[in-house]
Structure 1
């Protein structure tokens, strides 16, 4: 059985929260441990935002509960009325992360039948200890940048191979279902983007969205390739006419990289497009439809390269 880092941090946070709350002789000290368990998040920012939301929701809950319990008494009816007002307000102020934890703390007011300052301070200390210990432990997060770069390299290799496979498909030397390769690539890109988002969420002061934007760009590119593949399946045309597109795909497959801005490829695509325009007109409907598909593929491929060129210009 493997114990993950988050599990380990959760256990340690619960332990220290319980010890601190117990040493301070707080009522219902076990609540601090539960709050710590629920406050250990996946990233530094998510943990901080959740913690602050819970402190704010406890403040709101204490005010509402004090008014309602003093009006209708410390009873099940009073607690029900409290929830009736509290839950919609937490939704209104985007504090829903604190609904469950705060409601449990409010039951302490119900059980103790009072709203003395000692009890109010007790509840805020329980919340502060649980949230605070979780935040301290979440200050350590593994650096995902190396893993993200490895994911990038893997995706680059797969995209290059897909382009070469598409070129082989045009030359009728590859009959594999390339759509499956596209779908697998999209899964890898989604995984990479999730890691990139977590990496950004673990940075307190840096606003660098490069990795997320990179994976978004690659996802858009692969979707364009997927569209091209469906069109390529329908093209039945003499080899000489598709040779230029074959060369373009092969060149892209051999040169595609994170550093390649695609400008030269765009120039090559324009030259090929112009050469197609100068060729003799189709002789029949079948030739016309195949030529139209060929032009469509060329335009989609140009969009594919333009995405990378625009991405490079923004860096």
Structure 2
């Protein structure tokens, strides 16, 4: 049976927290292990956020719990009163994640049977031991996702290139049938990439990580242009000279944008703008069908131009 990375970290944190609490000769030292379990999170940012929230929870619970026990005495129903007050307070203060910890602290205070500075110090050190050990382990190592991100990015570019080639073929051959499988594949890859980039950014907050997330946000914008082009291509049901010229630029774009988009995008934009001018100088359509086809081609041309312009925003490094 394969043990997950987070499971291994949790086990190590529990053992280390209990061991530290024993070294400090704290009462109820096993409680430090429970705190460590609550502290282990998926990312570094989450673990730091949890540390702050559990610290706030501890302070709030010790203050309210101590005051209620001092005023009402050590009766079982006081535990219920403490929780009735504490849970809404924790929810209102955004520290609801610490409700379980708060409940255990209340039981500890009640079980002690007497409030003292030593009791409060012991409870605070127990919690601090568990949190600091877990925080240290959580921050010591987090798996990177750069290799996976590179594979996803490469796949998106390849699938996008394939879509341009397929659409170009449809414009040149009215009998060609394309199933459009790349559309769903690219959508899935973008979602996968965004999730990986978010996870990576939560652990490694550097300028490159922000660019990685920005890449997938922009690719989603670019993907919308591709989808619209596919819908327009389906309306071109005959081969015309404008479609052949546009298909030639599409095929060139599918090759040049795959490996070095920043270098080739300006030249491709110029070709598309020249094609727009060429189309405007051609004779007007003679039939309604020709008019509809040429209108769709003009829209495709403008969408392709927008698609290429987006490459100027995409970080490729």
Using structure 1 for the length normalisation, give the TM-score.
0.89
1:24-69 deviation line (CA, Å, top 9, x unaligned): 3333322221221222222222111211211112112222222333
| Change in 2 beyond 3 A, CA 1:79/1:275 | farther
1:94: which partner in 2? 94
| Change in 2 beyond 3 A, CA 1:174/1:88 | farther
1:87-121 deviation line (CA, Å, top 9, x unaligned): 33333333232222233222211222343222222
1:303: which partner in 2? 306
1:66: which partner in 2? 66
Distance 2:75 2:178 in 1: 70
1:124-273 to structure 2, matched below 5 A, reads 124-138=124-138, 139-172=140-173, 174-178=176-180, 180-203=181-204, 206-208=206-208, 209-257=210-258, 259-261=260-262, 262-273=265-276
Distance 2:152 2:246 in 1: 29
2:80: which partner in 1? 80
2:56: which partner in 1? 56
Q: 2:39, 2:50 within 8 Å by CA — same for their partners in 1? A: yes
Distance 2:256 2:244 in 1: 18
Cα drift, residue 300 of structure 1: 1.9
2:32: which partner in 1? 32
Distance 2:75 2:226 in 1: 64
Stretches of structure 2 that go unaligned for 5 or more consecutive residues are none
Cα drift, residue 144 of structure 1: 2.4
Indicate yes or no: 2:282 matched with 1:276: no
Distance 1:31 1:3 in 2: 24
Distance 2:283 2:82 in 1: 80
Distance 2:191 2:255 in 1: 24
SS in 2 for 1:27: coil
Stretches of structure 1 that go unaligned for 5 or more consecutive residues are none
| Change in 2 beyond 3 A, CA 1:89/1:251 | farther
Indicate yes or no: 2:35 matched with 1:41: no
Q: 2:64, 2:82 within 8 Å by CA — same for their partners in 1? A: yes
Q: 2:242, 2:297 within 8 Å by CA — same for their partners in 1? A: no
| Change in 2 beyond 3 A, CA 1:237/1:129 | same
Distance 1:274 1:91 in 2: 63
Q: 1:228, 1:301 within 8 Å by CA — same for their partners in 2? A: yes
Cα drift, residue 78 of structure 1: 3.1
Using structure 2 for the length normalisation, give the TM-score.
0.88
CA RMSD in angstroms, aligned pairs only: 2.4
